């Protein structure tokens, strides 16, 4: 593994590929090829490759109505069948993982919850190592440029419209809030840290869990808190003052509590985040 610092954002979540083919047919992303992917594939698969401009890559796979043209009717990858796993594009091998840049320039390894094989559990070290190697292989010498562009240049960020805190403090506060063992605890910490009253949202979430979930309610409650903590680590809302971010996260918790299967709900929310829908929060219902 490289000397670059990587932080895992999704502790408690793992996946097992169920070969559903969703990642090969999803409309919302494309498979870009590293230079080495292109060298491997250009002879036998040139018909499936097209040029692209304005991205870190100059080549990508073509898509049709069913997504990747190399996806067989049995949801299998033609490249893997014909040439073996090592020939698959790096971006395909990386899924369902991806990465972001943290405020301090470290890399954040994230998992895409809309992979259909997502489940509770722990990723093996080998799985994590493989994902990081794929990220590094895919972007190679561009990784440093991505890091510099993605990190914060100021030392401080907003707590609210008037008060500033350091990025370290913000991270520490997020860790404290989302290590809550229950929704009541979360509510108490929201008030303590940010003077935010989320009592109404918490009561609403609990009512919904009571209504929708027959057993393991505490597990669901904890999973909702874990997922919100994951989003906080991913720092998707980090340009906002911390209080605004916390407010948005609890609204996402409200949305999540509407799904009987919380992991499936996380997948749907992740897809909305990918499409930018939840950044405006138009789709998040209030209690
Ligand atoms: S979406 Fe997930 S489970 Fe489905 S084929 Fe892709 S990696 Fe496997
Ligand atoms: S190349 Fe194979 S693994 Fe990659 S998107 Fe196409 S079918 Fe899926």
Query: Using CA atoms, how far apart are residues 284 and 276, in angstroms rounded to an integer?
Result: 13
pLDDT for residue 261 is more than 70: yes
Q: State mean pLDDT over 240-247.
A: 96
pLDDT for 133-150, tens place per residue?
A: 999 999 988 899 999 999
CA–centroid distance, 15 to ligand 1, in Å, is: 9
Q: Specify the residue with its C-alpha closest to ligand 1, atom 6.
A: 23
Which residue is closest in CA terms to ligand 1's atom 1? Answer: 115
- Alpha carbon distances (Å) from 181 to 176, 186, 200, 218, 221: 11, 8, 18, 9, 9
Give, for ligand 1, the residue of 13, 15, 18 to mutate: max count of ligand atoms closer than 8 Å to Cβ: 18
* CA of 31, closest atom in ligand 2: 5
Q: Give ligand 2 pocket residues (Cβ under 6 A).
A: 24, 31, 61, 68, 70-71, 77, 79, 88-89, 92
> What pLDDT does residue 285 have?
38
Structure tokens that stand for 42 in this block: 């250009």
**What pLDDT is stored for residue 56 in this prediction?**
85
Distance of CA 113 from the midpoint of ligand 1 (Å): 10
- What average pLDDT does this structure show over 81-98? 96
Among 32, 27, 42, 50, residue whose Cα is nearest residue 79: 42
Identify the band that residue 277 occupies on the pLDDT scale cut at 50, 70 and 90. low
Ligand 1 pocket (Cβ < 6 Å) reads 17-23, 95-96, 115-117
Higher pLDDT, 240 or 27: 240
Confidence band (pLDDT; 50, 70, 90) for 2?
low
The domains of the chain are located at 6-150, 156-280
DSSP H helices, 42-164, are: 78-83, 90-94, 125-139, 142-150
- The atom number, within ligand 1, closest to the CA of 95 reads 7
The CA distance from 30 to 67, in Å, is 9
């Amino acid at each position: 593994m490289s000397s670059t610092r990587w932080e895992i954002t999704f502790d408690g979540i793992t996946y097992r590929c169920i070969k559903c083919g969703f990642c090969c047919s999803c409309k919302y992303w494309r498979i870009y090829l590293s230079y080495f992917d292109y060298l491997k594939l250009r002879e036998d698969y040139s018909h499936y490759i097209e040029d692209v401009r304005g991205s870190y890559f100059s080549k990508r796979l073509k898509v049709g109505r069913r997504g990747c043209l190399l996806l067989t009717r049995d949801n299998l990858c033609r490249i893997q069948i014909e040439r073996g796993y090592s020939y698959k594009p790096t971006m395909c091998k990386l899924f369902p993982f991806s990465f972001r840049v943290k405020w301090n320039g470290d890399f954040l390894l994230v998992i895409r919850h809309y992979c259909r094989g997502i489940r509770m559990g722990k990723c093996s070290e080998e799985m994590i190592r493989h994902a990081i190697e794929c990220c590094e292989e895919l972007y190679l010498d561009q990784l440093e440029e991505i890091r510099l562009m993605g990190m914060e240049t100021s030392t401080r960020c907003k707590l609210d419209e008037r008060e500033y805190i350091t990025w370290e403090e913000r991270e520490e506060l997020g860790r404290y809030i989302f290590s809550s063992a229950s929704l009541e605890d979360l509510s108490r910490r929201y008030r303590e840290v940010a003077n935010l009253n989320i009592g109404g949202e918490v009561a609403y979430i609990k009512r919904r869990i009571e209504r929708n979930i027959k057993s393991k309610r505490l597990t669901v409650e904890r999973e909702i808190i874990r997922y919100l903590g994951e989003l906080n680590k991913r720092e998707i809302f980090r340009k906002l003052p911390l209080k605004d971010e916390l407010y948005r996260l609890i609204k996402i918790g409200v949305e999540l509590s509407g799904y009987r299967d919380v992991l499936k709900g996380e997948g749907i929310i992740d897809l909305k985040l990918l499409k930018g829908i939840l950044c405006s929060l138009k789709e998040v219902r209030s209690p």
